């Protein structure tokens, strides 16, 4: 896929908010029957997929050699302390780079604090981890490698193991020409390049947004109308990745302080990053703590089952109530954000 800077949405945030709110109060047309191919008209620009990922930071430009090396390291158990765990142990490609657990499993065999998030479409991300404590993918990649309960690695041992593999050393030299020895920075940059290349596959929703009025079924179109209208999901799940990359308290009954515990974050506010919704059929259970087992539970949460407290996100609809048909329609729509195929390996995007 071609490189080039891709803006998530060509309208600014004020225009996005105006479009969302105008639909919510009925200025824009209410959802129309599925046979009308223009039902997505007001939203087409906002939800259209970009042509390719944005350029990486100048200090770590994306190259095919780096992506290939990063893919190999992503599954390499030599990055862990005990030589038994790799990044792919928790971020399984066949599960959209999640693990299917409520919370990630630590090296000691006990559950960690949070759910394993998907790695799709992070090239467009602004903050990483549920609490946003990493400002770059390179920093995000490095943290779990040395975290005692995740991979428990130490860099001198890791580099010694990798240097002993002649074929791998050759691959490092191809990805980082002019460097005599493997370094921590190279490992982190290679794995970050691989993660940056992971782009979720197109789905029926994308075909519909591009103008194929028959790509979605009537219930799915009704669900989209609820998503951008009555339910107000679009106020956080915006753009083709369905995330605003911001942090919100959505009323989960969790003791986790989230963004509130991050230096320079949001003191006293138990807020977490809005997850993208692509390939979400593969990423259950949901939320930062994995507390909602399925999509029906997620919708029920927003329809009145959240914990009411002063720190709740201001645009969370406190009065939202949905009938059974509306809930079913919303679930039907959300499923259109997952691809029909279940590939064992993710799509990759990068420089030509």
Q: Where are the domains of the chain?
A: 13-52+202-335, 64-196
Q: Is the pLDDT of residue 20 over 70?
A: no
Q: Is the pLDDT of residue 11 over 50?
A: no
Q: Which CATH class is domain 64-196?
A: mainly alpha
Q: SS3 breakdown of the chain: % helix, strand, coil, rounded to 5?
A: 40, 5, 55
Do 13-52+202-335 and 64-196 fold alike per CATH? yes
Burial state string for 158-171 with b = 16 or more CB within 10 A and e = fewer than 16: bbebbeeeeebeeb
The confidence score (pLDDT) of residue 53 equals 86
Fold of 13-52+202-335: Cytochrome Bc1 Complex; Chain D, domain 2 (1.10.760)
Query: Which two three-digit tokens encode residue 225?
Result: 């109308």
Distance CA(137)–CA(118), nearest Å, equals: 13
CB atoms within 10 A of CB 268: 11
Distance CA(43)–CA(131), nearest Å, equals: 29
Lowest mean pLDDT among 5-9, 85-89, 131-135: 5-9
Q: Which is nearest to 17 in space by CA: 192, 213, 176, 246?
A: 246
The confidence score (pLDDT) of residue 12 equals 36
The confidence score (pLDDT) of residue 52 equals 84
Q: Is the pLDDT of residue 33 over 50?
A: no
pLDDT in tens, 155-199: 999 999 999 999 999 999 999 999 889 999 999 999 999 999 999
Task: Supply the angle between the helices 155-163 and 184-196 in degrees, to the nearest 10.
Answer: 80
DSSP secondary structure string, 188-210?
Answer: HHHHHHHHHTB-PPP-HHHHHHT
Under the banding of pLDDT at 50, 70 and 90, the label for residue 25 is very low
State what percent of residues in the chain have pLDDT above 70.
86
pLDDT in tens, 47-87: 999 988 898 889 999 999 999 999 999 999 999 999 999 99
Alpha-carbon distance values, 71 to 28, 86, 106, 228, 321 (Å): 45, 11, 23, 37, 45
Q: Is the pLDDT of residue 118 over 50?
A: yes
Lowest mean pLDDT among 88-92, 95-99, 265-269: 265-269
Under the banding of pLDDT at 50, 70 and 90, the label for residue 348 is low
What is the average pLDDT value for the chain, to the nearest integer? 88
Query: Which two three-digit tokens encode residue 25?
Result: 């109060």
The confidence score (pLDDT) of residue 330 equals 98
The pTM for the full model equals 0.86
The confidence score (pLDDT) of residue 180 equals 86
State what percent of residues in the chain have pLDDT above 90.
80
What is the pLDDT averaged over residues 31-53? 74
Query: Which two three-digit tokens encode residue 4?
Result: 């080039």
The confidence score (pLDDT) of residue 268 equals 87
């Amino acid at each position: 896929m071609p490189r080039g800077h891709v803006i998530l949405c060509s309208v600014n945030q004020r225009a996005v908010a105006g479009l969302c709110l105008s639909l919510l109060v009925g200025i824009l047309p209410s959802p129309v029957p599925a046979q009308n191919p223009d039902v997505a008209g007001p939203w087409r620009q906002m939800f259209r997929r970009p042509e390719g990922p944005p350029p990486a930071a100048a200090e770590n430009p994306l190259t095919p050699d780096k992506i290939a090396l990063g893919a190999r390291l992503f599954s390499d158990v030599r990055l862990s302390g005990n030589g038994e765990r790799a990044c792919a142990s928790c971020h399984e490609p066949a599960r959209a780079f999640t693990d299917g657990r409520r919370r990630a499993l630590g090296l000691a065999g006990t559950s960690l604090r949070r759910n394993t998030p998907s790695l799709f479409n992070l090239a467009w991300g602004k903050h990483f981890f549920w609490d946003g404590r990493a400002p770059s993918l390179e920093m995000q990649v490095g943290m779990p490698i040395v975290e005692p309960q995740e991979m428990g690695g130490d860099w001198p041992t890791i580099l010694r193991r990798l240097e002993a593999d002649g074929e791998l050393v050759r691959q490092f030299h191809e990805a980082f020409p002019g460097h005599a020895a493997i370094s921590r920075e190279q490992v982190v940059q290679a794995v970050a390049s691989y993660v940056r290349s992971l782009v979720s596959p197109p789905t029926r929703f994308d075909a519909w947004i591009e103008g194929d009025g028959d790509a979605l079924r009537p219930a799915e179109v009704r669900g989209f109308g609820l998503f951008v209208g009555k339910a107000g999901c679009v106020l956080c799940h915006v753009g083709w990745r369905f995330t605003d990359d911001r942090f919100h308290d959505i009323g989960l009954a969790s003791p986790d302080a989230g963004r509130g515990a991050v230096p320079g974050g949001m003191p006293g506010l138990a807020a977490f990053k809005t997850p993208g919704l692509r390939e979400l059929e593969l990423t259950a259970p949901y939320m930062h703590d994995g507390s909602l087992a399925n999509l029906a539970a997620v919708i029920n949460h927003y329809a009145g089952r959240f914990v009411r407290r002063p720190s709740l996100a201001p645009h969370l609809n406190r009065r939202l109530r949905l009938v059974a048909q509306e809930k079913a329609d919303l679930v039907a729509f959300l499923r259109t954000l997952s691809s029909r195929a279940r590939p064992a390996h993710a799509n990759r995007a990068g420089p030509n």
